[in-house]
Amino acid sequence: MSYQGHHDIVNTKLSDKQLRVNLKNVMDTLKTNRKNLIASRYTDWEELREKGKALKQKTLSRLDVLLERFEQNASKNGFIIHWASDSKEANEIIYSLMKEKGVTKILKGKSMASEETHLNAFLKQKGLDPIETDLGELIIQLIDEPPVHIVAPAIHKNRYQIGEIFAQKLGANLESEPEKLNEIARVHLRKEFQEFKMGLSGVNFAIADEGAIWLIENEGNGRMSTTASDIHIAICGIEKIVESFEDASILDALLVPSATGAAITCYNNIITSPRKEGELDGPKEVHIILLDNNRSTILKDSHFYKSLSCIRCGTCLNHCPVYDKIGGHAYLSTYPGPIGEVISPQLFGMKNYGHMVNLCSLCGRCSEVCPVKIPLAELIRDLRSEKVGQGRKNLKNNDGSLKDRQEQFGMTKFANLASNGSSWRRMLSLAAFFAPLAKPFASFIPGLKNWVAYRAFPELSGNLHKKVSKMQGVIYE
């Protein structure tokens, strides 16, 4: 994506007033709920974050051992384990299973891993029918859009817009009350649930010691998709492995408040085996797909591996002053916001996703709120170095060729000026002198044009350089 092309997309989102209102309303509610819950119920939140960070890092340092242990124990429990090195392999496994079982329809609980592999588009191309059952995912599937947020996929639409979508696409009465909208979705999905054979879900934690998977959700559609079908397929990024239930509970205690501002979710589905002999319900077959998709390469990097600690709570998106202005679609990736900026170039290649690392002011709010303490702002800054070929250069498809020549030229000149006291003072005097002249013409000057479109031209005092010299004098005395 060219710089200008992406810039135009961001501008379109910025000028969509309804989008900004919708995002702000939801982000404000999520942030307030999280803050109030943590203040009222958790005296040990910081301690819990430290524990979460430590256990994720410990788990990642022995992920190979834990993956094998998970495979062994899960197989003993009767699960069928598949390994997928990339999106294509994961999608092919699901396609083969559908063909083998003679099903044309698969009911999906929420799964960001399946968004990552673009499963829906793949299955549709094969003439098969993936049906989203999470309310947010259903809304965006009806209008053929990708998720705008990793936890709340349709927050860019308000209840009036959702009512219109249901009226147009499902032929429902025009409604705007949440209860009525829920009812429309429930009636629509109930018909699908009555006659399905195969369900698909994501995984929040895959527990190595037990060979079990843990899935959290709020709507009950996850439980339906995983228990009311004959065959359940769970797609799981390899970084979702944890060693024990105790570790999973610590991460769960961090994930839920961060994601929704609630202490627990309505449904906790802990799946330890397919249906056993004598049991009346539950799927007869459970397949677990362990998806790599470049995660093992990220794991090898002694710095960027930290990004695999993510538990996908989405709170870094909620607190990001860029995300809440432009929404997730402007990032052009399955994973938007701060965590998206960090993992997308690593998972899918810097060449196609390098534009994302510019969507950050490096304010650091994301790092402050991340429940597992991923240093997101630091990683974004370091990915910028990777992008222009000044980092360690071991990211997928990254040859450091995404240099912005204009920016590099400007930065080199700035570094020369800023590292020489007399040049710096001279530059400040000139800037103070020319600023009032440049101000009225700034919007016509290439290079300044885009900058002043959203910012006030700075006021430079005529004696600024004298003040700076004085300060330097004090510092050096």
At closest approach, how far in Å is the CB of 370 from ligand SF4?
A: 3
Tokens 């190595």 belong to 208
Write the single-letter amino acid at 435.
Answer: A
At closest approach, how far in Å is the CB of 315 from ligand SF4?
A: 4
Kindly tell me the sign of the dihedral angle through the C-alpha atoms of 154, 158, 164, 166. positive
Q: Are 291 and 90 in contact (CB under 8 A)?
A: yes
At closest approach, how far in Å is the CB of 385 from ligand SF4?
A: 20
At closest approach, how far in Å is the CB of 31 from ligand SF4?
A: 12
At closest approach, how far in Å is the CB of 105 from ligand SF4?
A: 31
At closest approach, how far in Å is the CB of 232 from ligand SF4?
A: 26
DSSP-based three-state secondary structure for 192: helix
The CA-based angle 174-176-181, given to 5 degrees, is 85
At closest approach, how far in Å is the CB of 313 from ligand SF4?
A: 4
Tokens 């006030």 belong to 456
Beta strands in 181-295 (DSSP E): 198-201, 205-207, 212-217, 231-237, 241-242, 267-271, 285-291
Helix runs in 268-401, H state only: 295-300, 315-318, 323-326, 337-348, 350-353, 365-369, 376-387
Q: Are 295 and 347 in contact (CB under 8 A)?
A: yes
Of 32 and 450, nearer to ligand SF4 (C-beta) is 32
Q: How many residues does the chain have?
A: 477
Of 172 and 343, nearer to ligand SF4 (C-beta) is 343
Of 313 and 330, nearer to ligand SF4 (C-beta) is 313
Of 316 and 428, nearer to ligand SF4 (C-beta) is 316
The dihedral over CA atoms of 70, 197, 312, 272, expressed in degrees to the nearest 10, equals -30
Of 233 and 251, nearer to ligand SF4 (C-beta) is 251
At closest approach, how far in Å is the CB of 454 from ligand SF4?
A: 26
Of 109 and 338, nearer to ligand SF4 (C-beta) is 338
At closest approach, how far in Å is the CB of 415 from ligand SF4?
A: 31
Of 248 and 310, nearer to ligand SF4 (C-beta) is 310
Of 235 and 376, nearer to ligand SF4 (C-beta) is 376
Of 79 and 323, nearer to ligand SF4 (C-beta) is 323
Tokens 């002198």 belong to 433
The residue ranges that bind ligand SF4 (CB under 6 A) are 258, 310-316, 339, 370-372, 374, 376
For residue 42, give the DSSP letter: -
Pairing of strands 105-108, 198-201: parallel
At closest approach, how far in Å is the CB of 152 from ligand SF4?
A: 12
Find all residues with CB under 8 Å of 224, minimum gap 6, and list them: 107, 109, 133, 193, 199
Pick the closest to residue 152 from 333, 340, 327 (CA basis): 327
d(CA 107, CA 419) in angstroms, rounded, equals 61
Of 48 and 376, nearer to ligand SF4 (C-beta) is 376
DSSP 384-409: HHHHTT-S---STT--S----HHHHH
Write the single-letter amino acid at 204.
Answer: N
CA distance from start to end of the chain: 51
Report phi then psi at 205, rounded to 5. -140, 135
